[in-house]
Amino acid sequence: MNNLAPPPTPRKPRIGARADPCDRLRQAIVRGEFEPNERLVEADLSVRFGAGRTAIRAALAVLDQEGLIVREPNRGARVRLISAREALEIEQVRNALERLLTRSAAGLATSDDLADLRAILDAMIERLRESDSFGYSQLNTQLHRRIWRISDNQVAIKVLVTLKSQSIRFQYGTILRPGRPEQSLREHEAIVAAIAAHDPDACDAAMAEHLSHVLETLQWAIDAQDRERSWSALRDPGLDPHS
């Protein structure tokens, strides 16, 4: 999250032995390998990622700043739980800022910028063919960040970086909605086409449509989780469906 520039050739994200422990822990969290509110024990993370305690402590500090985890005095770190209300509010704020940045990108995009965006789209198509939801979602984020970089609005970018949209997708399972990845791809293609046409109004409309569907999908995921909790409470009366 600290580097807004995509690599020259988008590739499927992988966690490798040589990867930075901060990047590896971040990916593990957004993949759902850690549950919301799960404690993150430095000693366990050190063994899991083959990194020293100092490196793990530094990674936790970075992810705390990014809002993916919470560090509490005398209690250590835990994966941050994003409430349904906060998740919806984050997406509403993101809607306004991303539309602003996409309008800016329409007037500033160069041929190299457009080549990068199209390369990311090609990689997203490949991830869909492979039914790789995580890889597709990572490239989705990369495409949006490339648009941010083109816009060159540093204040808006800093705000967006803190909004944790990636974490929200995995915490609420929005990428699992049937048909959503294919629809998402079409929406991203329309956004890139509008940027290539250097048409700010078309960019605004395309991004607005895309993010309205993102918000709709998030509400669907939240409702699905609420229904599951209600059924769980009926099966086990000792459970509180609002806990």
pLDDT tens digit string along 172-190? 777 678 888 899 999 999 9
Tell me, yes or no, whether 56 and 122 share the same domain.
no
Convert the pLDDT of each residue in 127-146 to its tens digit. Answer: 999 998 878 888 998 999 99
CA 217 to CA 172: how far, in whole Å?
10
Assess whether 68 and 89 both reside in one domain.
no
Measured distance between the N- and C-terminal CA atoms of the chain, rounded to whole angstroms:
31
Evaluate if residue 1 carries a pLDDT over 70. no
Q: What is the pLDDT of residue 44?
A: 95
Residue 156 lies in a domain: yes
Domain of residue 53: give its range.
Answer: 21-79
Q: What is the CATH number of the domain that holds 57?
A: 1.10.10.10
Q: What is the pLDDT of residues 79-112, one digit of tens each?
A: 988 888 988 998 999 999 999 999 999 999 999 9
Q: Which residue has the higher pLDDT, 150 or 220?
A: 150
Q: What is the CATH number of the domain that holds 157?
A: 1.20.120.530
pLDDT at 241: 44
- Percentage, residues of the chain above pLDDT 90: 53
Give the pLDDT confidence score for residue 236 in this predicted structure.
59
pLDDT above 70 covers what percent of the chain? 84
Same domain assignment for residues 44 and 161: no
| Least trusted range by pLDDT, from 125-129, 170-174, 213-217 | 170-174
Tell me the pLDDT of the chain averaged across its residues: 85
Say what the pLDDT of residue 188 is: 98
- pLDDT of the residue at 27: 80
Write down the pLDDT at residue 26. 85
Residue 69: φ, ψ to 5° = -130, 170
Q: 215 and 147 share a domain? A: yes
Tell whether 40 is covered by a domain. Answer: yes
Are residue 103 and residue 218 in the same domain, yes or no? yes
Mean pLDDT is lowest, of 150-159, 174-183, 215-224, 226-235, for: 226-235
Residue where a domain terminates, one of 36, 58, 79: 79
Is residue 1 a part of any domain in this protein? no
- The verdict on residue 34 lying in a domain is yes
Higher per-residue confidence, 225 vs 198 = 198
pLDDT of residue 166: 60
Number of structural domains the chain divides into: 2
CB atoms within 10 A of CB 233: 15
Angle, CA 131 vertex, CA 129 and CA 136 arms, to 5°: 90
Q: Are residues 131 and 42 in the same domain?
A: no
Same domain, yes or no, for 93 and 75? no
pLDDT at 234: 58
DSSP calls for the chain? ----SPPSS-------TTS-HHHHHHHHHHHTSS-TT-EE-HHHHHHHHT--HHHHHHHHHHHHHHTSEEEETTTEEEEPPPPHHHHHHHHHHHHHHHHHHHHHHHHH--HHHHHHHHHHHHHHHHHHHTT-HHHHHHHHHHHHHHHHHHHT-HHHHHHHHTT-HHHHHHHHTGGGSTTHHHHHHHHHHHHHHHHHTT-HHHHHHHHHHHHHHHHHHHHHHHHHHHHHHHHHHHH-TTS-TT-
Is 64 among the domain residues?
Answer: yes
Question: Quick check: is 136 in a domain?
Answer: yes
Phi, psi dihedrals of residue 4, rounded to the nearest 5°: -80, -15
Do residues 139 and 227 share a domain?
yes
Residue 228 pLDDT more than 80?
A: no
Whether 161 maps to a domain, the answer reads yes
Q: Is 53 in the same domain as 139? A: no
Does 107 share its domain with 227? yes
Q: What is the mean pLDDT of residues 194-222?
A: 95
